[in-house]
């Protein structure tokens, strides 16, 4: 069993607070790993640098990644995750205020499991994030994580 059910990579403290609040009916806050930039998200998921003490097999059930992260953007995080055998099948949802066709297409080509537009209205954001949490945590059956050969 993973230490965290969800990894949330979000640089906005306000959006992080809103997302965590929206996830409360689905999952306890302690089960959400928080990262504030793309480097930290990659380090956590790949168990390297500051997170080198973590088991590389201890992956969350899904990663919810903001598109416009500092240091390394969400698409680059996704690209690197898909290059590693252990994280290749990790469910990744890109959450962004952008609904630009090029962003949606790039995320799909890189292997995002879903691309969700972040609503600007709090009520809609809460509903959207709660539905995401319910689907990925309660309904989705993830593929088994294979050990690297």
17-63: per-residue pLDDT in tens? 999 999 999 899 899 999 999 999 999 999 899 888 887 678 898 99
- The candidate with the shortest Cα–Cα distance to 128, out of 138, 115, 114, 116, is 116
Q: For 72-126, what is each residue's pLDDT tens digit?
A: 999 999 999 999 998 999 999 999 988 899 999 999 999 999 999 988 888 899 9
Nearest to 35 by CA among 71, 86, 81: 71
CA nearest 2: which of 62, 58, 63? 58
> Of 63, 79, 66, 49, which is closest to residue 13 (Cα–Cα)?
66
Which CATH number fits the domain 6-138, given the four candidates 1.10.760.10, 3.40.50.2300, 3.40.50.11540, 3.40.630.10? 3.40.50.2300
**Cα dihedral 125→128→130→133 (10° resolution):** -120
Tell me the angle at which helices 74-83 and 101-109 cross, rounded to the nearest 10 degrees. Answer: 10
């Amino acid at each position: 069993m993973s230490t965290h059910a969800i990894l949330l990579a979000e640089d906005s403290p306000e959006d992080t607070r809103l997302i965590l609040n929206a996830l409360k009916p689905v999952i306890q806050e302690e089960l959400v790993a928080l990262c504030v930039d793309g480097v930290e998200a990659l380090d956590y998921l790949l168990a390297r640098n500051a997170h080198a003490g973590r088991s590389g097999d201890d992956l969350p059930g899904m990663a919810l990644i903001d598109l416009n992260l500092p240091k390394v953007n969400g698409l680059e995080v996704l690209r690197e995750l898909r290059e590693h055998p252990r994280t290749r099948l990790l469910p990744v949802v890109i959450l962004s205020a952008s609904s630009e066709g090029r962003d949606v297409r790039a995320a799909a080509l890189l292997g995002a499991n879903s691309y969700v537009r972040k609503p600007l209205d709090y009520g809609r954001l809460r509903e959207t994030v709660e539905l995401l949490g319910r689907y990925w945590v309660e309904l989705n059956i993830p593929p088994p994580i294979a050990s690297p050969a």
